Structure 1
Amino acid sequence: MGYVDAHTHAVFREIITDELLNFAINEWHAPRELLLMSVKEFVKILDDSEIEYIGVMAHPSRKLGVAKEDYALKVIDAVKDYADRFAVIGGVEANELTVEEVRYWLGRQYEAGISAIKVHPPHMWLKPNAYRPEEGGLKQLGLVYQFAEDHGLPVYIHTGTSAFSKARNKYGDPIFVDDVAVDFPRLTILMSHVGRPNWVPTAFQLIRIRRNIYADLSSIPPKRLLEYIPRLTEISEKSVYGSDYPGPGVYDIKANLKEFLNIQIPREDLIKIASDNPKKILKPLSRTR
Protein backbone atom coordinates (compact mmCIF):
# COMPACT_ATOMS: atom_id res chain seq x y z
CA MET A 1 0.00 0.00 0.00
CA GLY A 2 1.42 3.38 -1.02
CA TYR A 3 0.23 6.21 1.17
CA VAL A 4 0.10 9.89 0.30
CA ASP A 5 0.97 12.75 2.64
CA ALA A 6 -0.94 15.53 0.92
CA HIS A 7 0.34 18.44 3.01
CA THR A 8 3.98 18.95 3.96
CA HIS A 9 6.40 21.85 4.06
CA ALA A 10 9.40 19.69 3.24
CA VAL A 11 12.55 21.63 2.37
CA PHE A 12 15.79 20.34 0.94
CA ARG A 13 19.44 21.23 1.03
CA GLU A 14 19.35 22.01 -2.69
CA ILE A 15 16.94 24.93 -2.30
CA ILE A 16 16.90 26.17 1.28
CA THR A 17 17.85 29.80 1.86
CA ASP A 18 19.18 31.39 5.03
CA GLU A 19 15.83 33.15 5.46
CA LEU A 20 13.86 29.92 5.22
CA LEU A 21 16.30 28.03 7.44
CA ASN A 22 16.11 30.66 10.16
CA PHE A 23 12.34 30.86 9.88
CA ALA A 24 11.92 27.09 10.18
CA ILE A 25 14.20 26.91 13.20
CA ASN A 26 12.73 29.93 14.99
CA GLU A 27 9.03 29.59 14.09
CA TRP A 28 8.61 25.85 13.42
CA HIS A 29 11.28 24.90 15.98
CA ALA A 30 12.29 22.24 13.48
CA PRO A 31 15.60 20.41 14.05
CA ARG A 32 18.26 21.74 11.71
CA GLU A 33 19.09 18.28 10.34
CA LEU A 34 15.55 17.88 8.97
CA LEU A 35 15.96 21.05 6.95
CA LEU A 36 19.28 20.20 5.35
CA MET A 37 18.61 16.76 3.87
CA SER A 38 19.10 16.28 0.16
CA VAL A 39 16.17 15.26 -2.02
CA LYS A 40 17.76 11.81 -2.43
CA GLU A 41 18.05 11.37 1.34
CA PHE A 42 14.45 12.45 1.77
CA VAL A 43 13.20 9.92 -0.78
CA LYS A 44 14.82 7.16 1.29
CA ILE A 45 12.72 8.29 4.25
CA LEU A 46 9.60 8.14 2.09
CA ASP A 47 10.52 4.61 1.04
CA ASP A 48 10.97 3.55 4.64
CA SER A 49 7.64 5.15 5.56
CA GLU A 50 5.68 3.46 2.73
CA ILE A 51 4.75 6.89 1.45
CA GLU A 52 4.28 6.86 -2.31
CA TYR A 53 4.45 10.63 -2.67
CA ILE A 54 3.95 13.85 -0.76
CA GLY A 55 2.55 17.29 -1.44
CA VAL A 56 5.13 20.03 -0.89
CA MET A 57 3.88 23.53 -0.14
CA ALA A 58 5.80 25.99 -2.30
CA HIS A 59 3.57 29.03 -2.20
CA PRO A 60 4.90 32.56 -1.62
CA SER A 61 5.12 33.95 1.91
CA ARG A 62 6.71 37.35 1.44
CA LYS A 63 5.01 38.76 4.55
CA LEU A 64 6.82 36.08 6.54
CA GLY A 65 10.00 36.88 4.63
CA VAL A 66 10.65 33.40 3.24
CA ALA A 67 9.48 32.99 -0.37
CA LYS A 68 8.09 34.60 -3.50
CA GLU A 69 6.40 33.24 -6.61
CA ASP A 70 9.57 31.70 -8.05
CA TYR A 71 9.94 29.33 -5.09
CA ALA A 72 7.61 26.76 -6.68
CA LEU A 73 9.86 26.67 -9.76
CA LYS A 74 12.91 26.05 -7.59
CA VAL A 75 11.21 23.18 -5.76
CA ILE A 76 10.11 21.58 -9.02
CA ASP A 77 13.64 21.80 -10.39
CA ALA A 78 15.06 20.27 -7.21
CA VAL A 79 12.75 17.22 -7.20
CA LYS A 80 12.47 16.63 -10.96
CA ASP A 81 14.56 13.44 -10.84
CA TYR A 82 11.97 11.96 -8.49
CA ALA A 83 8.88 13.37 -10.18
CA ASP A 84 6.72 10.44 -9.11
CA ARG A 85 7.39 11.11 -5.41
CA PHE A 86 6.42 14.78 -5.16
CA ALA A 87 3.43 16.99 -5.89
CA VAL A 88 4.37 20.66 -5.75
CA ILE A 89 1.77 23.16 -4.57
CA GLY A 90 2.44 26.65 -5.88
CA GLY A 91 0.54 29.90 -5.69
CA VAL A 92 0.69 33.68 -5.83
CA GLU A 93 0.05 36.46 -3.36
CA ALA A 94 -2.85 38.07 -5.16
CA ASN A 95 -2.85 41.21 -3.02
CA GLU A 96 0.82 41.88 -3.79
CA LEU A 97 0.70 41.54 -7.58
CA THR A 98 -0.99 43.15 -10.55
CA VAL A 99 -3.46 41.22 -12.68
CA GLU A 100 -0.77 40.82 -15.33
CA GLU A 101 1.75 39.52 -12.78
CA VAL A 102 -0.77 37.01 -11.42
CA ARG A 103 -1.39 35.68 -14.94
CA TYR A 104 2.33 35.48 -15.61
CA TRP A 105 3.24 33.55 -12.46
CA LEU A 106 0.30 31.19 -12.64
CA GLY A 107 1.25 30.42 -16.22
CA ARG A 108 4.92 29.87 -15.35
CA GLN A 109 4.10 27.60 -12.44
CA TYR A 110 1.53 25.61 -14.42
CA GLU A 111 3.92 25.06 -17.31
CA ALA A 112 6.57 23.89 -14.84
CA GLY A 113 4.16 21.29 -13.44
CA ILE A 114 2.50 22.44 -10.21
CA SER A 115 -0.10 19.99 -8.93
CA ALA A 116 -2.21 22.49 -6.96
CA ILE A 117 -2.40 26.08 -5.72
CA LYS A 118 -2.27 27.28 -2.11
CA VAL A 119 -4.04 30.32 -0.68
CA HIS A 120 -2.97 31.12 2.89
CA PRO A 121 -5.20 33.92 4.21
CA PRO A 122 -3.54 34.46 7.65
CA HIS A 123 -0.09 34.67 6.04
CA MET A 124 -1.18 36.60 2.95
CA TRP A 125 -3.45 38.91 4.98
CA LEU A 126 -6.56 38.57 2.86
CA LYS A 127 -9.95 36.90 3.05
CA PRO A 128 -10.43 33.85 0.80
CA ASN A 129 -13.41 35.64 -0.75
CA ALA A 130 -11.72 39.03 -1.17
CA TYR A 131 -12.50 38.90 -4.90
CA ARG A 132 -16.19 39.56 -4.22
CA PRO A 133 -17.45 43.16 -4.62
CA GLU A 134 -18.67 43.39 -1.04
CA GLU A 135 -15.27 42.14 0.20
CA GLY A 136 -13.13 44.60 -1.74
CA GLY A 137 -13.29 43.26 -5.30
CA LEU A 138 -9.72 41.94 -5.54
CA LYS A 139 -9.75 40.79 -9.17
CA GLN A 140 -6.35 39.15 -8.83
CA LEU A 141 -7.71 36.61 -6.35
CA GLY A 142 -10.70 35.80 -8.53
CA LEU A 143 -8.24 35.14 -11.33
CA VAL A 144 -6.41 32.60 -9.16
CA TYR A 145 -9.57 30.58 -8.58
CA GLN A 146 -10.66 30.87 -12.19
CA PHE A 147 -7.25 29.70 -13.41
CA ALA A 148 -7.34 26.72 -11.07
CA GLU A 149 -10.87 25.81 -12.10
CA ASP A 150 -10.06 26.10 -15.81
CA HIS A 151 -6.87 24.01 -15.50
CA GLY A 152 -8.16 21.33 -13.18
CA LEU A 153 -5.94 22.29 -10.25
CA PRO A 154 -7.18 21.83 -6.68
CA VAL A 155 -6.79 24.79 -4.34
CA TYR A 156 -5.70 24.45 -0.73
CA ILE A 157 -7.09 27.19 1.51
CA HIS A 158 -5.67 27.50 5.03
CA THR A 159 -8.35 27.70 7.71
CA GLY A 160 -7.87 28.05 11.44
CA THR A 161 -5.18 29.88 13.33
CA SER A 162 -1.46 30.16 12.71
CA ALA A 163 0.99 30.54 15.59
CA PHE A 164 3.57 32.34 13.48
CA SER A 165 4.46 35.78 14.71
CA LYS A 166 3.35 37.69 11.60
CA ALA A 167 0.11 35.77 11.01
CA ARG A 168 -3.21 37.66 11.01
CA ASN A 169 -5.66 35.08 12.32
CA LYS A 170 -8.83 37.04 11.65
CA TYR A 171 -8.53 35.75 8.09
CA GLY A 172 -8.63 32.08 9.17
CA ASP A 173 -12.42 31.75 9.54
CA PRO A 174 -13.57 29.00 7.13
CA ILE A 175 -16.96 30.65 6.55
CA PHE A 176 -15.30 32.83 3.90
CA VAL A 177 -14.46 29.69 1.91
CA ASP A 178 -18.18 29.11 1.37
CA ASP A 179 -18.31 31.92 -1.20
CA VAL A 180 -15.46 30.32 -3.14
CA ALA A 181 -17.26 26.98 -3.25
CA VAL A 182 -20.45 28.63 -4.52
CA ASP A 183 -18.83 30.96 -7.04
CA PHE A 184 -16.46 28.33 -8.50
CA PRO A 185 -18.52 25.12 -8.49
CA ARG A 186 -16.04 23.15 -10.64
CA LEU A 187 -13.14 23.97 -8.33
CA THR A 188 -11.87 21.34 -5.89
CA ILE A 189 -11.14 23.04 -2.57
CA LEU A 190 -9.02 21.44 0.14
CA MET A 191 -9.86 23.13 3.42
CA SER A 192 -6.52 22.85 5.19
CA HIS A 193 -6.56 22.07 8.92
CA VAL A 194 -10.39 22.01 9.06
CA GLY A 195 -10.54 25.33 10.90
CA ARG A 196 -8.65 24.09 13.96
CA PRO A 197 -8.89 24.90 16.76
CA ASN A 198 -11.48 27.69 16.78
CA TRP A 199 -13.73 26.95 13.82
CA VAL A 200 -13.89 23.16 13.40
CA PRO A 201 -17.71 22.93 13.53
CA THR A 202 -18.05 25.54 10.77
CA ALA A 203 -15.48 23.79 8.59
CA PHE A 204 -17.04 20.37 9.19
CA GLN A 205 -20.48 21.58 8.18
CA LEU A 206 -19.19 23.21 5.00
CA ILE A 207 -17.37 20.01 4.04
CA ARG A 208 -20.64 18.11 4.56
CA ILE A 209 -22.87 20.42 2.53
CA ARG A 210 -20.60 21.72 -0.24
CA ARG A 211 -19.86 19.14 -2.89
CA ASN A 212 -16.52 20.67 -3.85
CA ILE A 213 -15.01 21.26 -0.39
CA TYR A 214 -12.75 18.55 1.03
CA ALA A 215 -11.03 18.20 4.41
CA ASP A 216 -7.23 18.43 4.58
CA LEU A 217 -6.56 16.94 8.02
CA SER A 218 -2.98 18.18 8.34
CA SER A 219 -1.55 19.73 11.52
CA ILE A 220 -4.14 18.14 13.81
CA PRO A 221 -2.21 15.60 15.94
CA PRO A 222 -3.58 12.19 14.87
CA LYS A 223 -4.06 11.10 18.48
CA ARG A 224 -6.42 14.07 18.92
CA LEU A 225 -8.13 13.94 15.55
CA LEU A 226 -11.31 12.29 16.86
CA GLU A 227 -11.49 14.90 19.63
CA TYR A 228 -11.59 17.62 16.99
CA ILE A 229 -13.72 15.69 14.48
CA PRO A 230 -15.64 12.93 16.29
CA ARG A 231 -17.80 12.34 13.20
CA LEU A 232 -14.79 11.88 10.92
CA THR A 233 -16.22 8.76 9.28
CA GLU A 234 -19.11 10.86 7.94
CA ILE A 235 -16.63 12.75 5.75
CA SER A 236 -14.11 9.97 5.08
CA GLU A 237 -15.01 10.09 1.38
CA LYS A 238 -14.05 13.77 1.36
CA SER A 239 -10.92 13.81 3.55
CA VAL A 240 -7.20 13.58 2.81
CA TYR A 241 -4.33 12.84 5.15
CA GLY A 242 -1.53 15.34 5.66
CA SER A 243 1.16 15.69 8.30
CA ASP A 244 2.26 19.35 8.01
CA TYR A 245 5.84 18.05 8.39
CA PRO A 246 8.18 19.61 9.56
CA GLY A 247 5.81 22.15 11.02
CA PRO A 248 5.51 22.70 14.77
CA GLY A 249 5.50 19.37 16.61
CA VAL A 250 5.65 17.21 13.48
CA TYR A 251 9.27 16.17 13.12
CA ASP A 252 8.88 12.50 12.12
CA ILE A 253 6.90 11.95 8.93
CA LYS A 254 6.83 8.17 9.38
CA ALA A 255 5.68 8.27 13.01
CA ASN A 256 2.90 10.75 12.21
CA LEU A 257 1.51 8.48 9.49
CA LYS A 258 1.73 5.44 11.76
CA GLU A 259 -0.16 7.30 14.47
CA PHE A 260 -2.86 8.24 11.99
CA LEU A 261 -3.23 4.64 10.79
CA ASN A 262 -3.86 3.58 14.40
CA ILE A 263 -6.88 5.84 14.84
CA GLN A 264 -9.89 3.85 15.98
CA ILE A 265 -12.04 4.09 12.87
CA PRO A 266 -12.66 1.37 10.26
CA ARG A 267 -9.61 0.37 8.22
CA GLU A 268 -11.40 1.13 4.97
CA ASP A 269 -11.88 4.73 6.07
CA LEU A 270 -8.20 5.07 6.93
CA ILE A 271 -7.23 3.78 3.48
CA LYS A 272 -9.63 6.18 1.78
CA ILE A 273 -8.17 9.15 3.65
CA ALA A 274 -4.45 8.25 3.42
CA SER A 275 -4.36 6.70 -0.05
CA ASP A 276 -7.45 6.58 -2.25
CA ASN A 277 -8.76 10.13 -1.87
CA PRO A 278 -5.46 12.05 -2.18
CA LYS A 279 -4.51 10.01 -5.24
CA LYS A 280 -7.72 11.15 -6.93
CA ILE A 281 -7.24 14.82 -6.05
CA LEU A 282 -3.50 15.51 -5.95
CA LYS A 283 -1.31 14.18 -8.76
CA PRO A 284 2.48 13.93 -8.46
CA LEU A 285 4.75 15.96 -10.70
CA SER A 286 5.24 13.02 -13.09
CA ARG A 287 1.54 12.92 -13.90
CA THR A 288 1.24 16.65 -14.58
CA ARG A 289 3.74 16.61 -17.40
Structure 2
Amino acid sequence: MKGSSSSWFFYLGFLVGACSIYFFLCQVWFERSYPTLSETQEKATAVSERPTSWRKEGAALTNPLHSPHEDADSRVADALYQKVRVLCWVMTGPYNLQSRARHVRATWSRHCNVVVFMSSEEDTDFPTVGLGTKEGRDQLYWKTIRAFHYVYEHHASEADWFLKADDDTYVVVDNLRWILSNHTPEEPIYFGKRFKPFTKQGYMSGGAGYVLSKEALKRFVEGFQTKVCSHTTPVEDLALGQCLEKMGVLAGDSRDTLHRETFHPFVPEHHLTSKFSKSFWYWSYCYYPIIEASLFTYFSFLS
Protein backbone atom coordinates (compact mmCIF):
# COMPACT_ATOMS: atom_id res chain seq x y z
CA MET A 1 0.00 0.00 0.00
CA LYS A 2 2.84 2.30 0.93
CA GLY A 3 4.66 1.44 -2.33
CA SER A 4 1.67 2.17 -4.51
CA SER A 5 1.20 5.51 -2.73
CA SER A 6 4.82 6.44 -3.44
CA SER A 7 4.39 5.50 -7.10
CA TRP A 8 1.27 7.63 -7.30
CA PHE A 9 3.13 10.65 -5.89
CA PHE A 10 6.02 9.99 -8.27
CA TYR A 11 3.76 10.00 -11.35
CA LEU A 12 1.89 13.04 -10.08
CA GLY A 13 5.15 14.92 -9.57
CA PHE A 14 6.36 13.86 -13.01
CA LEU A 15 3.12 15.10 -14.60
CA VAL A 16 3.26 18.44 -12.78
CA GLY A 17 6.90 18.89 -13.76
CA ALA A 18 6.24 18.05 -17.40
CA CYS A 19 3.33 20.49 -17.54
CA SER A 20 5.44 23.21 -15.94
CA ILE A 21 8.21 22.72 -18.51
CA TYR A 22 5.65 22.72 -21.34
CA PHE A 23 4.03 25.99 -20.23
CA PHE A 24 7.44 27.55 -19.66
CA LEU A 25 8.57 26.68 -23.18
CA CYS A 26 5.27 27.91 -24.62
CA GLN A 27 5.73 31.21 -22.81
CA VAL A 28 9.29 31.59 -24.11
CA TRP A 29 8.19 30.69 -27.66
CA PHE A 30 5.24 33.08 -27.48
CA GLU A 31 7.39 35.96 -26.30
CA ARG A 32 9.93 35.35 -29.07
CA SER A 33 7.38 34.77 -31.82
CA TYR A 34 4.97 37.64 -31.23
CA PRO A 35 5.98 41.28 -30.83
CA THR A 36 4.79 43.29 -27.86
CA LEU A 37 2.21 46.04 -28.27
CA SER A 38 4.93 48.71 -28.06
CA GLU A 39 6.98 46.91 -30.73
CA THR A 40 3.94 46.73 -32.99
CA GLN A 41 3.24 50.43 -32.50
CA GLU A 42 6.87 51.31 -33.19
CA LYS A 43 6.82 49.29 -36.40
CA ALA A 44 3.56 50.92 -37.53
CA THR A 45 5.04 54.36 -36.88
CA ALA A 46 8.19 53.45 -38.79
CA VAL A 47 6.16 52.27 -41.78
CA SER A 48 4.02 55.42 -41.84
CA GLU A 49 7.13 57.61 -41.63
CA ARG A 50 9.20 55.57 -44.07
CA PRO A 51 10.47 57.79 -46.90
CA THR A 52 8.82 57.06 -50.24
CA SER A 53 9.66 57.83 -53.83
CA TRP A 54 6.85 60.40 -53.93
CA ARG A 55 7.53 63.34 -56.18
CA LYS A 56 5.47 66.43 -55.46
CA GLU A 57 4.36 67.93 -58.74
CA GLY A 58 2.09 70.87 -58.05
CA ALA A 59 -0.86 69.55 -56.06
CA ALA A 60 -0.21 65.93 -57.07
CA LEU A 61 2.02 63.21 -55.67
CA THR A 62 3.55 60.92 -58.28
CA ASN A 63 5.34 57.65 -57.65
CA PRO A 64 7.44 56.27 -60.55
CA LEU A 65 8.28 53.08 -58.63
CA HIS A 66 5.96 50.49 -57.17
CA SER A 67 5.97 50.31 -53.37
CA PRO A 68 5.97 46.56 -52.63
CA HIS A 69 4.67 45.04 -49.44
CA GLU A 70 7.45 44.06 -47.06
CA ASP A 71 8.82 40.53 -47.57
CA ALA A 72 6.51 39.94 -50.55
CA ASP A 73 7.23 38.63 -54.04
CA SER A 74 6.14 41.70 -55.99
CA ARG A 75 7.20 40.79 -59.52
CA VAL A 76 3.65 40.55 -60.88
CA ALA A 77 2.58 43.70 -59.02
CA ASP A 78 5.65 45.56 -60.29
CA ALA A 79 4.84 44.65 -63.89
CA LEU A 80 1.19 45.66 -63.52
CA TYR A 81 2.26 48.93 -61.90
CA GLN A 82 3.87 49.97 -65.17
CA LYS A 83 1.21 48.45 -67.43
CA VAL A 84 -1.97 49.52 -65.61
CA ARG A 85 -1.45 53.11 -64.47
CA VAL A 86 -3.91 54.24 -61.81
CA LEU A 87 -4.52 57.78 -60.64
CA CYS A 88 -6.22 57.91 -57.25
CA TRP A 89 -8.02 61.04 -56.23
CA VAL A 90 -9.18 61.17 -52.64
CA MET A 91 -12.09 63.31 -51.46
CA THR A 92 -11.24 64.98 -48.17
CA GLY A 93 -11.72 68.25 -46.30
CA PRO A 94 -9.62 70.74 -44.31
CA TYR A 95 -10.63 69.20 -40.97
CA ASN A 96 -9.82 65.65 -42.06
CA LEU A 97 -6.27 66.10 -43.30
CA GLN A 98 -4.57 65.06 -40.05
CA SER A 99 -7.20 62.64 -38.75
CA ARG A 100 -7.84 60.76 -42.02
CA ALA A 101 -6.09 61.90 -45.19
CA ARG A 102 -2.54 61.67 -43.86
CA HIS A 103 -3.10 57.98 -43.12
CA VAL A 104 -4.32 57.41 -46.68
CA ARG A 105 -1.20 59.18 -47.93
CA ALA A 106 1.00 56.95 -45.74
CA THR A 107 -0.66 53.60 -46.56
CA TRP A 108 -2.63 52.34 -49.55
CA SER A 109 -2.17 55.39 -51.79
CA ARG A 110 1.55 54.52 -52.02
CA HIS A 111 0.50 51.92 -54.58
CA CYS A 112 -1.13 54.46 -56.91
CA ASN A 113 0.90 55.91 -59.77
CA VAL A 114 -0.49 59.38 -59.06
CA VAL A 115 -2.40 60.65 -56.01
CA VAL A 116 -4.40 63.86 -55.76
CA PHE A 117 -6.22 64.94 -52.61
CA MET A 118 -9.31 67.04 -53.35
CA SER A 119 -10.68 69.46 -50.77
CA SER A 120 -12.83 72.56 -50.59
CA GLU A 121 -9.67 74.55 -49.81
CA GLU A 122 -6.15 74.45 -51.20
CA ASP A 123 -3.33 73.32 -48.93
CA THR A 124 0.08 73.58 -50.59
CA ASP A 125 1.89 71.75 -47.78
CA PHE A 126 -0.19 68.56 -47.67
CA PRO A 127 -0.91 69.10 -50.67
CA THR A 128 -4.59 69.38 -51.65
CA VAL A 129 -6.42 70.86 -54.61
CA GLY A 130 -8.94 73.53 -53.62
CA LEU A 131 -12.17 72.94 -55.53
CA GLY A 132 -13.85 76.16 -54.42
CA THR A 133 -16.85 74.45 -52.84
CA LYS A 134 -18.28 74.43 -49.35
CA GLU A 135 -18.08 71.42 -47.05
CA GLY A 136 -21.07 69.16 -46.42
CA ARG A 137 -22.87 66.19 -47.94
CA ASP A 138 -24.87 68.47 -50.20
CA GLN A 139 -21.57 69.47 -51.84
CA LEU A 140 -20.37 65.95 -52.68
CA TYR A 141 -21.45 65.92 -56.32
CA TRP A 142 -20.08 69.41 -56.95
CA LYS A 143 -16.75 68.26 -55.53
CA THR A 144 -16.87 65.12 -57.68
CA ILE A 145 -17.68 67.04 -60.87
CA ARG A 146 -14.91 69.56 -60.31
CA ALA A 147 -12.42 66.90 -59.21
CA PHE A 148 -12.89 64.80 -62.35
CA HIS A 149 -12.65 67.93 -64.52
CA TYR A 150 -9.41 68.87 -62.74
CA VAL A 151 -7.96 65.40 -63.20
CA TYR A 152 -8.91 65.36 -66.89
CA GLU A 153 -7.37 68.78 -67.52
CA HIS A 154 -4.14 68.25 -65.55
CA HIS A 155 -3.39 64.50 -65.41
CA ALA A 156 -5.20 62.69 -68.24
CA SER A 157 -1.92 61.67 -69.87
CA GLU A 158 -0.40 60.31 -66.65
CA ALA A 159 -2.80 57.41 -66.04
CA ASP A 160 -5.10 54.92 -67.75
CA TRP A 161 -7.64 54.54 -64.93
CA PHE A 162 -9.00 57.10 -62.49
CA LEU A 163 -10.09 55.98 -59.02
CA LYS A 164 -12.26 58.08 -56.73
CA ALA A 165 -12.12 57.20 -53.02
CA ASP A 166 -13.10 58.89 -49.78
CA ASP A 167 -10.62 59.61 -47.00
CA ASP A 168 -12.14 56.79 -44.91
CA THR A 169 -11.84 54.20 -47.69
CA TYR A 170 -9.07 51.59 -47.87
CA VAL A 171 -8.19 50.24 -51.31
CA VAL A 172 -5.95 47.29 -52.23
CA VAL A 173 -4.62 48.92 -55.39
CA ASP A 174 -2.65 45.86 -56.54
CA ASN A 175 -5.88 43.83 -56.61
CA LEU A 176 -7.58 46.66 -58.48
CA ARG A 177 -4.89 46.54 -61.17
CA TRP A 178 -5.38 42.78 -61.47
CA ILE A 179 -9.05 43.31 -62.33
CA LEU A 180 -8.37 46.25 -64.63
CA SER A 181 -5.68 44.34 -66.53
CA ASN A 182 -8.48 42.42 -68.27
CA HIS A 183 -9.72 45.65 -69.85
CA THR A 184 -8.31 48.56 -71.84
CA PRO A 185 -8.53 52.27 -70.95
CA GLU A 186 -10.15 52.84 -74.36
CA GLU A 187 -13.28 51.01 -73.22
CA PRO A 188 -16.08 53.30 -71.98
CA ILE A 189 -16.47 51.44 -68.69
CA TYR A 190 -16.33 51.96 -64.93
CA PHE A 191 -16.26 49.62 -61.93
CA GLY A 192 -17.32 49.65 -58.29
CA LYS A 193 -19.89 48.20 -55.90
CA ARG A 194 -22.89 48.03 -58.21
CA PHE A 195 -26.32 49.10 -56.99
CA LYS A 196 -29.42 48.64 -59.16
CA PRO A 197 -32.22 51.16 -58.43
CA PHE A 198 -32.93 54.43 -60.27
CA THR A 199 -30.91 53.64 -63.44
CA LYS A 200 -31.24 50.97 -66.13
CA GLN A 201 -27.75 49.54 -65.73
CA GLY A 202 -27.25 50.43 -62.08
CA TYR A 203 -24.63 52.71 -60.55
CA MET A 204 -21.57 52.39 -58.31
CA SER A 205 -21.65 53.05 -54.56
CA GLY A 206 -19.65 56.11 -53.59
CA GLY A 207 -18.59 54.70 -50.22
CA ALA A 208 -16.83 51.71 -51.77
CA GLY A 209 -15.00 53.86 -54.32
CA TYR A 210 -15.21 53.53 -58.09
CA VAL A 211 -12.80 53.66 -61.00
CA LEU A 212 -13.29 55.11 -64.49
CA SER A 213 -11.39 54.20 -67.63
CA LYS A 214 -9.75 57.05 -69.52
CA GLU A 215 -12.55 56.94 -72.09
CA ALA A 216 -15.19 57.02 -69.34
CA LEU A 217 -13.49 60.05 -67.78
CA LYS A 218 -13.43 61.78 -71.17
CA ARG A 219 -17.14 61.13 -71.70
CA PHE A 220 -18.03 62.33 -68.20
CA VAL A 221 -16.33 65.67 -68.84
CA GLU A 222 -17.89 65.92 -72.30
CA GLY A 223 -21.29 65.30 -70.76
CA PHE A 224 -21.09 68.60 -68.91
CA GLN A 225 -19.51 70.44 -71.81
CA THR A 226 -22.41 69.43 -74.07
CA LYS A 227 -25.08 69.95 -71.38
CA VAL A 228 -26.13 66.29 -71.56
CA CYS A 229 -25.25 66.08 -67.86
CA SER A 230 -25.84 68.61 -65.11
CA HIS A 231 -25.88 68.86 -61.33
CA THR A 232 -29.26 67.21 -60.80
CA THR A 233 -28.91 65.94 -57.22
CA PRO A 234 -26.39 66.09 -54.35
CA VAL A 235 -26.44 62.26 -54.22
CA GLU A 236 -23.01 61.94 -55.81
CA ASP A 237 -22.82 58.26 -56.74
CA LEU A 238 -26.31 58.10 -58.25
CA ALA A 239 -25.88 61.36 -60.18
CA LEU A 240 -22.55 60.23 -61.60
CA GLY A 241 -24.07 56.89 -62.61
CA GLN A 242 -26.96 58.61 -64.38
CA CYS A 243 -24.57 60.88 -66.29
CA LEU A 244 -22.30 58.01 -67.35
CA GLU A 245 -25.30 55.98 -68.51
CA LYS A 246 -26.42 58.90 -70.70
CA MET A 247 -22.91 59.11 -72.15
CA GLY A 248 -22.81 55.43 -73.07
CA VAL A 249 -20.40 54.33 -70.34
CA LEU A 250 -20.90 50.70 -69.28
CA ALA A 251 -21.34 49.75 -65.63
CA GLY A 252 -18.79 46.93 -65.43
CA ASP A 253 -18.82 43.68 -63.46
CA SER A 254 -15.91 43.66 -60.98
CA ARG A 255 -16.75 40.39 -59.22
CA ASP A 256 -14.08 37.71 -59.01
CA THR A 257 -14.14 34.30 -60.71
CA LEU A 258 -16.34 32.90 -57.92
CA HIS A 259 -18.85 35.75 -58.39
CA ARG A 260 -17.90 37.41 -55.10
CA GLU A 261 -17.91 41.19 -54.78
CA THR A 262 -14.55 42.97 -54.67
CA PHE A 263 -15.78 46.46 -53.73
CA HIS A 264 -17.42 46.75 -50.28
CA PRO A 265 -19.34 49.82 -49.04
CA PHE A 266 -19.32 49.25 -45.27
CA VAL A 267 -16.63 49.14 -42.60
CA PRO A 268 -14.81 45.76 -42.45
CA GLU A 269 -16.41 44.56 -39.20
CA HIS A 270 -19.87 44.84 -40.72
CA HIS A 271 -18.91 42.65 -43.66
CA LEU A 272 -16.97 40.24 -41.43
CA THR A 273 -19.43 39.75 -38.57
CA SER A 274 -22.86 41.03 -39.57
CA LYS A 275 -25.74 39.08 -41.01
CA PHE A 276 -27.81 41.67 -42.79
CA SER A 277 -31.52 41.51 -42.01
CA LYS A 278 -33.64 40.68 -45.04
CA SER A 279 -35.45 43.97 -44.49
CA PHE A 280 -32.19 45.93 -44.69
CA TRP A 281 -32.07 48.20 -47.77
CA TYR A 282 -28.77 46.66 -48.89
CA TRP A 283 -30.53 43.50 -50.14
CA SER A 284 -32.76 45.40 -52.53
CA TYR A 285 -29.99 47.73 -53.71
CA CYS A 286 -27.35 45.15 -54.64
CA TYR A 287 -27.23 44.46 -58.36
CA TYR A 288 -25.76 40.98 -57.87
CA PRO A 289 -26.79 38.27 -55.37
CA ILE A 290 -25.19 38.77 -51.96
CA ILE A 291 -22.74 36.04 -50.97
CA GLU A 292 -22.26 35.98 -47.20
CA ALA A 293 -18.76 34.68 -46.56
CA SER A 294 -15.66 35.66 -44.65
CA LEU A 295 -13.63 38.41 -46.28
CA PHE A 296 -10.53 36.49 -45.22
CA THR A 297 -11.29 34.04 -48.04
CA TYR A 298 -11.32 36.87 -50.57
CA PHE A 299 -7.90 36.95 -52.20
CA SER A 300 -9.37 39.50 -54.63
CA PHE A 301 -10.77 41.77 -51.90
CA LEU A 302 -10.38 45.30 -53.20
CA SER A 303 -12.03 47.97 -51.02
What's the TM-score once normalised by structure 1's chain length? 0.30
Higher relative contact order (CA 8 A, sep 6+): 1
Larger-Rg structure: 2
TM-score, normalised to structure 2's length?
A: 0.29
